[in-house]
């Protein structure tokens, strides 16, 4: 007698039908029947009565189902107790994350942390990257997942990936075509305020080309920038992940910016003045795990780094 057989017996009795039970248990019907027969042989009693309408438990089958429920409940409680006994390292971690990343990986990250780090209570705070840096220094968050985090003496950083931003515009005749930065700068642009990592990169690259960045609309919200583009009032330079839904719906167009690209580096960073955090390594692994699907979504627009920097 083993736990699998007990689970199978409960499933068959509750379903009242071998075929239905096999579907609910995600097991082949022949394998299910074999396990039940083996259980009956081990115990030396019939557990089920088979008839044209399905199956019913015998008196012994009903008794074993009842005891099996108790046994499986005890096993689950034992598992929880054992896990809880190792939770002396439980802690709350406050993580700053950008709005685009919250949309792209926030749910996946929360689920991974819950599954892999049950001793961690993860509190995620949404903010633009440059705002996150100030929050980290002030001690308002413990870690940040942000772009182009500056190399400051009080901050530790791990570089995770690099990705390229795109020109977001209403669909037009040049839909999906790459566009040179010099041509991007001729567009009416909706951009975040100064201090934002994307705006800082665009400003720097424009100066290297001997040009100026002219901002028609200055807004901090990604949603507001997308709204301006949807209404045809402006274009914007945004992360690809922030407009995936609108792209699939055919409402917006994304054009890769080239010569040069608007490339950013994503960091997981913490303050050297705080901690140490017992679950930092686990959090780093969870973040990397949540980024796998993100990298697949971005395709050629991104590449992983997984390199620690001071």
CB 244 within 8 A of CB 117: no
| pLDDT at 308 (0 to 100) | 42
pLDDT digits (tens, 9 = 90+) for 270-301: 998 887 888 999 999 999 999 999 999 999 99
pLDDT attached to residue 310:
39
What burial letters (b/e) apply to 223-238, b meaning 16+ CB within 10 Å? eebbebbeeeebbbbb
Q: Tell me: the pLDDT tens digits for 72-123? A: 889 888 877 776 665 556 789 999 999 889 989 999 999 999 999 999 999 9
CATH number of 91-310: 3.40.190.290
Written as six digits, the tokens of 158 are 């791990």
Dump pLDDT digits (tens) for 6-65: 999 999 999 999 998 998 888 899 989 999 999 999 999 999 998 888 899 999 999 999
Structure tokens at 12: 């068959």
Return the HEC string of the chain.
Answer: CCHHHHHHHHHHHHHCCHHHHHHHHCCCHHHHHHHHHHHHHHHCCCCEEEECCEEEECHHHHHHHHHHHHHHHHHHHHHHHHHHHCHHHCEEEEEEECHHHHHHHHHHHHHHHHHHCCCEEEEEEECCHHHHHHHHHCCCCCEEEEECCCCCCCEEEEEEEEEEEEEEECCCCCCCCCEEHHHHCCCCEEECCCCCHHHHHHHHHHHHCCCCCCEEEECCCHHHHHHHHHCCCCEEEEEHHHHHHHHHCCCCEEEEEECCCCEEEEEEEEECCCCCCCCHHHHHHHHHHHHHHHHHHHHHHEEEEEEEEC
* Domain parsing of the chain, residue ranges: 3-85, 91-310
Q: Which CATH number fits domain 3-85: 1.20.58.1030, 1.10.730.10, 1.10.10.10, 3.50.50.60?
A: 1.10.10.10
Greatest CA span in the chain, whole angstroms?
89
Fold identical between 3-85 and 91-310? no
Mean pLDDT of 176-202: 94
**pLDDT number for residue 307:** 54
Q: Rounded to an integer, what distance in angstroms lies between the CA atom of residue 90 and that of residue 112? A: 16
- Flag whether the pTM goes above 0.85: no
pLDDT digits (tens, 9 = 90+) for 115-169: 999 999 999 999 999 999 999 999 999 999 999 999 999 999 999 999 999 999 9
Sign of CA dihedral 140, 142, 148, 154: positive
Nearest to 268 by CA among 153, 162, 176, 143: 143
208 vs 17: CA distance, rounded Å: 73
Measured CA to CA, the distance from residue 203 to residue 188 in angstroms comes to 15
- pLDDT at residue 62, rounded to an integer: 94
Q: pLDDT tens digits for 252-266? A: 999 999 999 999 999
Average pLDDT of the segment spanning 209-214: 94
């Amino acid at each position: 007698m083993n736990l699998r057989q007990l689970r199978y017996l409960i499933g068959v009795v509750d379903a009242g039908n071998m075929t239905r039970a096999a579907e609910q248990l995600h097991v082949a019907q022949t394998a299910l029947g074999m396990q039940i027969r083996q259980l009956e042989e081990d115990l030396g009693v019939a557990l089920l009565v088979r008839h044209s309408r399905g199956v019913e438990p015998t008196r012994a089958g009903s008794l074993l189902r009842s005891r099996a429920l108790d046994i499986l409940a005890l096993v689950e409680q034992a598992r929880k107790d054992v896990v809880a006994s190792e939770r002396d390292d439980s802690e709350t971690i406050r993580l700053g994350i950008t709005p685009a990343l919250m949309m792209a990986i926030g749910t996946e990250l929360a689920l991974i942390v819950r599954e892999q780090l049950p001793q961690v209570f993860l509190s995620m705070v949404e903010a633009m990257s440059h705002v996150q840096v100030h929050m980290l220094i002030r001690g308002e968050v413990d870690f940040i997942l942000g772009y182009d985090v500056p190399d400051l003496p009080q901050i530790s950083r791990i570089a995770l990936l690099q990705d390229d931003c795109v020109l977001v515009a209403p669909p037009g005749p040049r839909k999906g075509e790459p566009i040179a930065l010099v041509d991007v700068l001729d567009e009416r642009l909706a951009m975040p305020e100064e201090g934002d990592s994307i705006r800082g990169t665009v400003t720097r690259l424009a100066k290297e080309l001997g040009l100026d960045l002219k901002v028609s609309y200055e807004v901090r919200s990604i949603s507001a920038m997308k709204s301006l583009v949807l209404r045809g009032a402006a274009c914007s330079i945004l992360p690809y992940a922030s407009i995936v839904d609108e792209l699939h719906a055919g409402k917006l167009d994304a054009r890769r910016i080239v010569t040069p690209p608007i490339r950013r580096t994503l960091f997981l960073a913490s303050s050297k003045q705080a901690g140490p955090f017992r679950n930092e390594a686990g959090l780093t692994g969870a973040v990397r795990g949540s980024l796998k699907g993100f990298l697949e979504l971005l395709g050629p627009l991104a590449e992983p780094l997984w390199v620690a920097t001071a």
